[in-house]
A and B are shown apart, each in its own frame.
Chain A
Amino acid sequence: GNSVTQMEGPVTLSEEAFLTINCTYTATGYPSLFWYVQYPGEGLQLLLKATKADDKGSNKGFEATYRKETTSFHLEKGSVQVSDSAVYFCAIVSGSARQLTFGSGTQLTVLP
């Protein structure tokens, strides 16, 4: 079956620091890849996505590139802000029922 492995957290950074959260996956076929963000007390929101090899998803200064050769989809941001503090989930979808498989999530705290 499908699986997603995310970098263990929590991650604590100072404002304006560079962020990388690693994500690798195993899947049959050609999955679509996603990053979701969950702010405290809220549901998950789609942050960015990529659907084929070498696609780069981007949103709100975050980026991730679909690397089929390394089965990875690492999340990056050049300069984090306090407002980026949240839990980030890597996820893949494949199969006829489009079931999302999630990583365990990475808690990010950004200090001023």
Chain B
Amino acid sequence: NAGVTQTPKFRILKIGQSMTLQCTQDMNHNYMYWYRQDPGMGLKLIYYSVGAGITDKGEVPNGYNVSRSTTEDFPLRLELAAPSQTSVYFCASSQDRGPYGYTFGSGTRLTVV
């Protein structure tokens, strides 16, 4: 039972480079989310999706893009990386209904230099 799988675990980018953070879940959850966690802070929602083909902005979407072509995958794209995007990124998924929490991936630690 893999749950939510994120790759890579660590990455160093130079300013202006681009990359895609991968997220896959095998629980058939329709709802998926991307959060970033800055040191000493809580998690901020970047983007979310309520199903394949449907995405929407969260609290801090600038500098990021997402797509959701399948139920399983929800990649996060960083274009023109900036030092302000240095953070730990978490992907999560959730069931559609009921008082359930999220299942989180183990995170991607990104440093932009």
Given contacts A44-B90, A49-B99, A99-B45, 20 further A-B contacts (CB under 8 A): A4-B42, A32-B99, A42-B107, A43-B106, A49-B101, A96-B50, A97-B48, A97-B56, A99-B33, A99-B48, A99-B58, A100-B33, A100-B43, A100-B92, A100-B102, A101-B45, A102-B42, A102-B43, A105-B40, A105-B42
Count contacts on B: residues with CB < 8 A to the other chain. Answer: 24
State the CA gap A102–B107 with chains docked (Å): 16
State the CA gap A46–B99 with chains docked (Å): 12
A/B pair count, beta carbons within 8 Å: 57
Residues of A within 8 A of B94 (CB): 98
Minimum CB–CB distance from A74 to chain B (whole Å) comes to 17
- Let me know if B101 and A36 touch, CB within 8 A: yes
State the CA gap A34–B102 with chains docked (Å): 10
Q: Which of B35, B41, B101, B106 contacts A34 (CB 8 A)?
A: B101
- Let me know if B102 and A46 touch, CB within 8 A: yes
Residues of A within 8 A of B106 (CB): 42-43
A7 located at the interface, meaning its Cβ lies under 8 Å from any Cβ of chain B in the complex:
no
State the CA gap A48–B25 with chains docked (Å): 22
B74 located at the interface, meaning its Cβ lies under 8 Å from any Cβ of chain A in the complex:
no
State the CA gap A44–B37 with chains docked (Å): 11
Residues of B within 8 A of A91 (CB): 101
Residues of A within 8 A of B33 (CB): 99-100
- Let me know if B101 and A97 touch, CB within 8 A: no
A58 located at the interface, meaning its Cβ lies under 8 Å from any Cβ of chain B in the complex:
no
Chain A residues 16-47 with CB under 8 Å of chain B are 32, 34, 36, 42-46
A110 located at the interface, meaning its Cβ lies under 8 Å from any Cβ of chain B in the complex:
no
State the CA gap A74–B75 with chains docked (Å): 35
- Let me know if B101 and A105 touch, CB within 8 A: no
A93 located at the interface, meaning its Cβ lies under 8 Å from any Cβ of chain B in the complex:
yes
- Let me know if A104 and B104 touch, CB within 8 A: no
Chain B residues 25-65 with CB under 8 Å of chain A are 31, 33, 35, 40-43, 45, 48, 50, 56, 58
- Let me know if A104 and B40 touch, CB within 8 A: yes
| Central interface residue in B48, B92, B96, B102, by most chain A CB within 10 Å | B102
